[in-house]
Structure 1
């Protein structure tokens, strides 16, 4: 089981290791952790980064791997239940269309709760906006967020 967890972590890490030198920019850690099916609060994310950052803004795989392995095995940052995610999106979708406009989602995500940065929003919109219709079908996002969240 641990070797499977290590493979999954390495694959997620390597997707952001643009120089192929076993390091990633600290700003990518939240995205990497979320891609592994974990959803820490901002406080938890900052505490996690404090454990693995090398003070230069880089995270090295050899420091990240054991800490992230422990997080996954202990289920420290559990996924948000699918029904709660759906309820949250449906609350935002006042007209019950089944989707949100990119500008609408950006407004909510950058002004409410744990605020996203513009860079984070750009990444999210690029990944989740339907190219044909230029909308975000939130059930697709929920499927992606809840897919493979169990190890």
Structure 2
């Protein structure tokens, strides 16, 4: 059992390090603090903005430099992944949410509807988050979001 746990932790830490290194442009084991949310999401976690803020507070130095060091990020993120925190919302729940927003029941939302819902309801998206979502979700030919296709693309395989 102990060997299995060690192997699991080693595998998790390898994944975290690889994701971190993608954004370590100076190759000095640091990344810009603004990239941490992207790194965390690339590892299959979906924290809210306030949860992300709490995670950053855990790893930021006493003297914030604007950069996060791998040696601080790795143990915190290992714990998050081991505890399976911030799991993505299941596909069927996402689908039901989009269907509620799709008042005409036509299988898609317009770009304008999506922007309105994501920036005016609940925990509003930032400009950056909205642009990121639109670039992935909106079909440039029809200017709509075919949400069944988008959900399939978003779902993280276990």
Coarse TM-score class (shorter-chain normalised): 0.7 to 0.9
Q: In the alignment, does 2:118 pair up with 1:109?
A: yes
Is 1:15 equivalent to 2:22 in the alignment?
Answer: yes
**Which structure's CA Rg is the greater one?**
2
Contact 2:88/2:156 (<8 A) preserved? no
> Structure 1 unaligned runs (5+)?
none
More displaced, 30-39 or 103-112? Answer: 30-39
Given that 1:102 and 1:136 are in contact with CA atoms closer than 8 Å, whether structure 2 keeps it comes out as yes
Tell whether 2:135 aligns with 1:126. Answer: yes
In the TM superposition, 1:72-111 aligns within 5 A as: 72-111=81-120
Find the aligned partners of 1:16 and 1:101 in 2 and give their Cα distance: 33
Q: Distance in 1 between matches of 2:17 and 2:143?
A: 33
Query: Distance between the aligned counterparts of 2:139 and 2:26, measured in 1?
Result: 30
> Quick one: structure 1 residues 78 and 147, their matched pair in 2 at CA, closer, same or farther if it must change by over 3 Å?
closer
- Scaled by the length of structure 1, the TM-score of the pair is 0.84
Report the 3-state secondary structure (helix = DSSP H, G, I; strand = E; otherwise coil) of the residue aligned with 2:95: helix
TM-score when normalising by structure 2 = 0.81
CA drift at 1:135: 2.4
Q: Distance in 2 between matches of 1:14 and 1:129?
A: 29
Q: Which has the higher contact order (CA 8 A, sep 6+)?
A: 1
Gaps of 5+ in 2: 1-7
CA distance in 2, matches of 1:132, 1:10: 38
Paired residues, number? 149
Q: 2:73 aligns with which of 37, 61, 64?
A: 64
Q: Where does residue 34 of structure 1 map in the other structure?
A: 41
Cα distance in 2, alignment partners of residues 87 and 15 from structure 1: 34
